[in-house]
Amino acid sequence: MQISDSSTRILAGLLEARTGQQLTMSRRWRIETALAALLRERGIASLDELITILVMGREPGLSQMVAEALLNNETYFFRDRAPFDMLQRYALPELAQRRAKLKRLRIWSTGCSTGQEPYSLAMLFAEEQEKWQGWTIDILGTDVSSGCIDRARRGIYTQFEIQRGLGINQTIKWFEECADGWRAVEQLRRPVRFQVHNLLEQPPHPGGFDIILCRNVLLYLNPEKKALSFERLASAMAEDGWLMLGAGETVIGQTNKLGSDINARGLYRLIGDGKRVEKRSGPDRRTAAAGA
Ligand SMILES: C[S@@+](CC[C@H](N)C(=O)[O-])C[C@H]1O[C@@H](n2cnc3c(N)ncnc32)[C@H](O)[C@@H]1O
Q: Is 20 in the pocket of ligand 1 (CB under 6 A)?
A: yes
**Which of 217, 231, 232 has most ligand 1 atoms within 8 Å of its beta carbon, as the pocket-test mutant?**
217
| DSSP state letter for 178 | E
If pLDDT is split at 50, 70 and 90, which confidence band does 45 have? very high
Q: Is 225 in the pocket of ligand 1 (CB under 6 A)?
A: no
> Taking the CB of residue 226, how many other CB atoms lie within 10 A of it?
17
Q: Is 22 in the pocket of ligand 1 (CB under 6 A)?
A: no
Is residue 238 within 8 Å of 205, Cβ to Cβ?
Answer: no
Average pLDDT, rounded, for the chain: 91
Dmax over CA atoms of the chain, in Å, equals 66
If pLDDT is split at 50, 70 and 90, which confidence band does 273 have? low
Rounded Cα–Cα distance for residues 162 and 165 (Å): 7
Q: Is 198 in the pocket of ligand 1 (CB under 6 A)?
A: yes
pLDDT tens-digit profile of 171-181?
Answer: 999 999 999 99
pLDDT tens-digit profile of 82-114?
Answer: 999 999 999 999 999 999 999 999 999 999 999
Examine the pLDDT at 18 and tell me if it is beyond 80: yes
Q: Is 20 left (phi over 0), alpha (psi -120 to 50) or beta?
A: left
In angstroms, the Cα distances linking 253 to 205, 259, 260 are: 26, 10, 12
Q: Where are the beta strands (DSSP E) in 215-266?
A: 237-245, 258-260
**Which atom of ligand 1 is closest in space to residue 75's alpha carbon?**
9
Characterize 73-90 residue by residue with b for buried, 16 or more Cβ atoms within 10 angstroms of its Cβ, and e for exposed: eebbbbbeeebbebbeeb
Atom 9 of ligand 1, nearest CA residue: 75
Rounded Cα–Cα distance for residues 78 and 55 (Å): 41
Q: Is 145 in the pocket of ligand 1 (CB under 6 A)?
A: yes
Q: Is 117 in the pocket of ligand 1 (CB under 6 A)?
A: yes
The residues, ordered by sequence, that sit 6+ positions from 243 with a Cβ below 8 Å of its Cβ are: 211, 212, 214, 233, 234, 237, 251, 258, 267, 268, 269
pLDDT tens-digit profile of 75-89?
Answer: 999 999 999 999 999
Tell me the backbone φ, ψ of residue 266, rounded to 5 degrees. 100, -15
| DSSP state letter for 204 | S
The arithmetic mean of pLDDT across residues 126-150, rounded, is: 97
CA 173 to chain centre: 25
**C-alpha dihedral sign at 9, 15, 21, 23:** negative
- pLDDT for the residue numbered 283: 36
